[in-house]
A and B are shown apart, each in its own frame.
Chain A
Amino acid sequence: MAHEHKLAIFRGTVKFKSNVSKIWGVFIFLSIVTIIEVALGIIRPEFLVDTHFLALKLLNWIFIILTLVKAYYITWDFMHMRDETTGLRRAVIWTGLFLISYLVVLILIEGDYIYEVYKNGFIKFNF
């Protein structure tokens, strides 16, 4: 690998002196996020569990967003996506992101629909 590593994370607000120190910095960040997730998972604050947003508990939204944040830093800094060309990055990330969100949205809507039919429907054999 001839080309240089980009050493700034958080949109350039945190800069590291070497690639090794960047790796440790990202590791500490990922650890903090994981600790927050586990703490929230054990405490499960009533307010976050009882508030719903777009058919999901607020707590679950927090988990999903934190997971995506972790996925971003694993891909960008551990897998060096930050250092790849724009073309390669988009070929991989956009394809995956589009197909996965398409599938997940359709399938979850369908699952919710079947739940409603089981619960409220009078006709269950041909839905």
Chain B
Amino acid sequence: MEATVVKTGTEGTTWGGGNQPLKASYGKMMMWFFILSDALTFSGFLAAYGFSRFKFVDAWPIADEVFTHFPFLHGVDAPMYYVAFMTFILIFSSVTMVLAVDAGHKMQQNKVIFYLFLTIIGGAVFVGSQAWEWATFIKGDYGAIETKGGQIIQFLDKEGERVAIRDFAVAASRDRVEQTGDNGIWYNTEGEYLPSVSYEQVKEGFLANDNLLVRLQYKDEHGHHIILSREESIAKVVNDGQLIVEGANLRHNEYGHPLFANFFFFITGFHGFHVLTGVLINIIVFFNVIIGTYERRGSYEMVEKVGLYWHFVDLVWVFVFTFFYLV
């Protein structure tokens, strides 16, 4: 059968087809453009975070005072050391990844296996660290009172040290009775959010202890939260206080503005999901390397492509680290 192929007379010249001006394979190029679009997604999130932060710029929590924990070191004030550790883990797993790519170029199967294994371990340690970071953030630290207007007020002693509400709240004078459908209004069931102490207990304990002061969400011109005098503190707690907040969730956040917690969960969660999928893809490629798929194929380009994704995850973390923990 005669095919209707038209000869254009341009074969072998620039427009004759078969050129690869970018000198990259289809898969690698598409990985780059996927990364570009994913980068735009992340910058959309981070820009939204920046928008909310600029909107409440004088009442935004200070990251140094929020993330102060390190595993196995209880009661030690260690601002940012743990995130710095996480950053190093991720940068180092990036290094082992790029070493695996380099070994792949040289067709050294065993080296690729070794470095990919280290990369997977690094990724797993990072995801685990993030889970710990979340758990600590959700559990909370000192507790706070939320006012009727939705502001967070925290407690300090006269030396300026934070005081946990459970330490000064007076013991409950009577047992708490759970509200059930048959002894109340049928649609008014017990709330899901139950702090360990009630607002009344905290208020009573606060009034009994002259050493306690209130710290507001608002910051002065030096970026420090404003601390009220004893009289102003009493007025604030008695007149405006409404609710006890312990830890952070999507509605309440003892560290400050609820939006801070919302963006923290959303952005680090989305990044953590990327790390998780990165680890899974790495594991798949790792087993492919072990069974010799790429050795038979004669090219380790798949390692390079998944490597690009892995480095991108590291790249995003560099920005998340800056905008959540440093700035």
Contact assessment for B50 and A107 in the assembled complex, using a CB-CB cutoff below 8 Å: yes
A38 to chain B, nearest CB (A): 4
If A1-B301, A31-B88, A87-B22 touch, whether A20 touches B102 (CB-CB below 8 Å) is yes
Task: Tally chain B residues at the interface, Cβ within 8 Å.
Answer: 58
Q: Within A91-117, which residues are at the interface with B (CB < 8 Å)? A: 91-92, 95-96, 99-100, 103-104, 107-108, 110-112, 114-115
Q: Which residues of A contact B50 (CB under 8 A)?
A: 104, 107-108, 111
Q: Complex Cα distance A75/B326, Å?
A: 22
Q: Within A54-95, which residues are at the interface with B (CB < 8 Å)? A: 57, 60, 63-64, 66-67, 70-71, 74-75, 77-80, 84-85, 87-88, 91-92, 95
Task: Tally chain A residues at the interface, Cβ within 8 Å.
Answer: 54
B314 within 8 A of A: yes
Nearest 3 Cβ contacts at the A-B interface: A111-B54, A111-B51, A88-B22
B131 within 8 A of A: no
Q: Complex Cα distance A126/B75, Å?
A: 48
Contact assessment for A50 and B222 in the assembled complex, using a CB-CB cutoff below 8 Å: yes
Contact assessment for A23 and B54 in the assembled complex, using a CB-CB cutoff below 8 Å: no
Between A and B, 13 residue pairs with Cβ closer than 8 Å are A23-B99, A38-B80, A41-B64, A41-B325, A70-B318, A78-B95, A85-B24, A88-B32, A96-B36, A107-B47, A107-B51, A115-B54, A115-B55
| Smallest CB gap from B78: residue in A | A42
Contact assessment for B39 and A24 in the assembled complex, using a CB-CB cutoff below 8 Å: no
If A20-B102, A87-B21, A87-B22 touch, whether A74 touches B55 (CB-CB below 8 Å) is no
**1/0 contact trace for B12-26 toward A, CB 8 Å?**
000000000111100
Q: Which residues of B contact A60 (CB under 8 A)?
A: 326-327
Q: Which residues of A contact B94 (CB under 8 A)?
A: 74, 78
Q: Which residues of A contact B315 (CB under 8 A)?
A: 71, 74-75, 79
Question: Count the A-B residue pairs with Cβ separation under 8 angstroms: how many?
Answer: 142
Contact for B304 among A1, A103, A114, CB less than 8 A: A1
Contact for B318 among A20, A71, A100, CB less than 8 A: A71
Contact for B24 among A40, A49, A88, A112, CB less than 8 A: A88
**1/0 contact trace for B64-89 toward A, CB 8 Å?**
10000000000000011100100110
| Smallest CB gap from A75: residue in B | B315
Contact for A100 among B43, B48, B307, CB less than 8 A: B43
Q: Complex Cα distance A57/B21, Å?
A: 44
Q: Which residues of A contact B301 (CB under 8 A)?
A: 1
B220 to chain A, nearest CB (A): 12
A59 to chain B, nearest CB (A): 8
Contact assessment for A37 and B322 in the assembled complex, using a CB-CB cutoff below 8 Å: yes
A30 within 8 A of B: yes
B171 within 8 A of A: no
Q: Which residues of B contact A66 (CB under 8 A)?
A: 322
Q: Complex Cα distance A62/B102, Å?
A: 33
Q: Which residues of B contact A110 (CB under 8 A)?
A: 51
Contact assessment for A63 and B39 in the assembled complex, using a CB-CB cutoff below 8 Å: no
